[in-house]
Chains A and B, each alone.
Chain A
Amino acid sequence: MAIRCVASRKTLAGLKETSSRLLGFRGVQTFTLPDLPYDYGALEPAISGEIMQIHHQKHHQAYVTNYNNALEQLDQAVNKGDASTVVKLQSAIKFNGGGHVNHSIFWKNLAPVQEGGGEPPKGSLGSAIDTHFGSPEGLVKKMSAEGAAVQGSGWVWLGLDKELKKLVVDTTANQDPLVTKGGSLVPLVGIDVWEHAYYLQYKNVRPEYLKNVWKVINWKYASEVYEKECN
């Protein structure tokens, strides 16, 4: 089982705090790659261990690294009062920060079958899904269709609109987080439909990936988020 690096992050932040106070400028929060709560091969055969390893260690890590770099540059630009550089950095922050945010959610959206992956949603989320989509199958059909239709790279989401108090299915392009489609949207389940999420295993057949990924979707986690946001 993987261990989260909370202690080292706190220690690093502490050191940065001290050194920036001594040197007289603001330190920057460093983001780190979260560990997966399961082994790379634990989602097979739905998602191959090879994909999980590259997806986590290469793609997500790159977003984290580039996000930290962009934030460092942003901090410097802000301190220098360099307004145009601040604006120029926004796309790198959105791409890489969004990539970090989205993938951090994604790993929690997945679980090995032995740990409940694929078990249908129950409780209040289960009822809400029945109300809005007729049944879990109805939701799955809609999300799979919308995920397959994303042109280029992006994500398909099940979200909660906190304001309207209803469930929504939506897609985002590239690494745009769900909140870019509406400020009151909270992501419950996100499915990565970038080609890197499935290509080594499913090649061009994205619908086949979308058919199989539901076998490892962690509805327990989605329910926890839903219940928390509803209270």
Chain B
Amino acid sequence: MAASSAVTANYVLKPPPYALDALEPHMSKQTLEFHWGKHHRAYVENLKKQVLGTELEGKPLEHIIHSTYNNGELLPAFNNAAQAWNHEFFWESMKPGGGGKPSGELLALLERDFTSYEKFYEEFNAAAATQFGAGWAWLAYANDKLKVVKTPNAVNPLVLGSFPLLTIDVWEHAYYLDFQNRRPDYIKTFMTNLVSWEAVSARLEAAKAASSSSS
């Protein structure tokens, strides 16, 4: 079972690791107020109501995600559970003054698995831009390899057997107030000004440790 580093907070709406206006002007305070304050909050609150009195109540979030994913035949609580997880992971994938290129081992692996950072950027950008409808684009780690993945709606790499390292939310609510239909501009801003490569590197370390300890 893939580990998730710090995202196991059971049904708690954790605030982002920065103030709601700290990502301005790249992601507005208004967006954070709605995206975190309304959308993310609703997933957490609705999940709590949904599992109350069921066998899922009290189980760790990832357990709920895996069991309600149900090999693709999604059970009712999957949407709220996975979205609660995805959004916490998303806030932690960004930081004020973020963006630019990674360094160290992460950069080395990106260059190994994509031939260059630019090629990775191209692939990640394409995945985020072409995920039709609601969904997410990810950098993930599995079998000692980095790969770019895109997923619909609430699906995430955990249920696909990989370790998520980075994500961008491409549901329209993630960018509509700031960019309207211009998803490509949102993706570019995310990569240039928001990505927290420190968070990605830390997740990569955890993923590698989890992989080697289970092999």
Contact B171 A54 (CB under 8 A): no
Q: Which residues of A contact B171 (CB under 8 A)?
A: 152, 195
Q: How far is the CA of A173 from the CA of B134 in the complex (A)?
A: 10
Stretch at the interface among A13-21, A77-85, A132-140, A196-204: A196-204
Given A151-B79, A152-B153, A153-B172, do A204 and B177 touch, yes or no (CB 8 Å)? Answer: no
- Most chain B CB inside 10 Å of its own CB: which residue of A58, A95, A173, A203: A203
Q: Which residues of B contact A154 (CB under 8 A)?
A: 133
Does A184 sit at the interface, judged by CB under 8 A?
A: no
Contact A54 B181 (CB under 8 A): yes
Contact B34 A152 (CB under 8 A): no
Does B42 sit at the interface, judged by CB under 8 A?
A: yes
Contact A153 B134 (CB under 8 A): yes
Interface size on B, residues (CB 8 A): 19
Interface residues of B in 129-173 (CB under 8 A from A): 132-135, 152-154, 171-173
In the complex, residue of chain A having the shortest beta-carbon distance to the beta carbon of B42: A204
Given A204-B34, A204-B42, do A95 and B132 touch, yes or no (CB 8 Å)? Answer: yes
Identify B177's interface contact among A59, A62, A200, CB under 8 A.
A200
Contact A200 B176 (CB under 8 A): yes
Contact A58 B181 (CB under 8 A): yes
Does B14 sit at the interface, judged by CB under 8 A?
A: no
Q: Which residues of B contact A174 (CB under 8 A)?
A: 132-133
Identify A199's interface contact among B42, B134, B153, B176, CB under 8 A.
B176
Does A194 sit at the interface, judged by CB under 8 A?
A: yes
Q: Which residues of A contact B172 (CB under 8 A)?
A: 153, 194-196, 199
Contact A195 B181 (CB under 8 A): no
Closest Cβ of chain A to B42, distance in Å, is 7
Interface size class of A (residues with CB under 8 A): 20 to 34
Does B208 sit at the interface, judged by CB under 8 A?
A: no
Closest Cβ of chain A to B74, distance in Å, is 9
In the complex, residue of chain B having the shortest beta-carbon distance to the beta carbon of A59: B181
Identify A196's interface contact among B34, B42, B181, CB under 8 A.
B181
Identify A151's interface contact among B42, B132, B153, B176, CB under 8 A.
B153
Closest Cβ of chain B to A55, distance in Å, is 9
Contact B133 A152 (CB under 8 A): yes
Q: Mark B172-215, 1 if CB is under 8 A from A, else 0.
A: 11001100110000000000000000000000000000000000
Q: Which residues of A contact B26 (CB under 8 A)?
A: none
Does B39 sit at the interface, judged by CB under 8 A?
A: yes
Q: How far is the CA of A154 from the CA of B133 in the complex (A)?
A: 8
Q: Which residues of A contact B176 (CB under 8 A)?
A: 195-196, 199-200
Q: List 22 A-B pairs, Cβ < 8 Å.
A: A54-B181, A58-B181, A62-B181, A91-B132, A151-B79, A152-B134, A152-B152, A152-B154, A153-B133, A153-B134, A175-B132, A175-B133, A194-B172, A195-B173, A195-B176, A199-B172, A200-B177, A200-B180, A203-B177, A204-B34, A204-B39, A204-B173
Closest 7 interchain pairs by CB?
A152-B134, A195-B172, A153-B133, A152-B153, A174-B133, A58-B181, A204-B38
- Give 14 new A-B contacts, CB below 8 A, not counting A153-B133, A194-B172: A54-B181, A91-B132, A152-B133, A174-B133, A175-B133, A195-B172, A196-B172, A196-B176, A199-B173, A199-B177, A200-B176, A200-B177, A204-B38, A204-B173
On B, residues with C-beta under 8 Å from A are 34, 38-39, 42, 79, 132-135, 152-154, 171-173, 176-177, 180-181
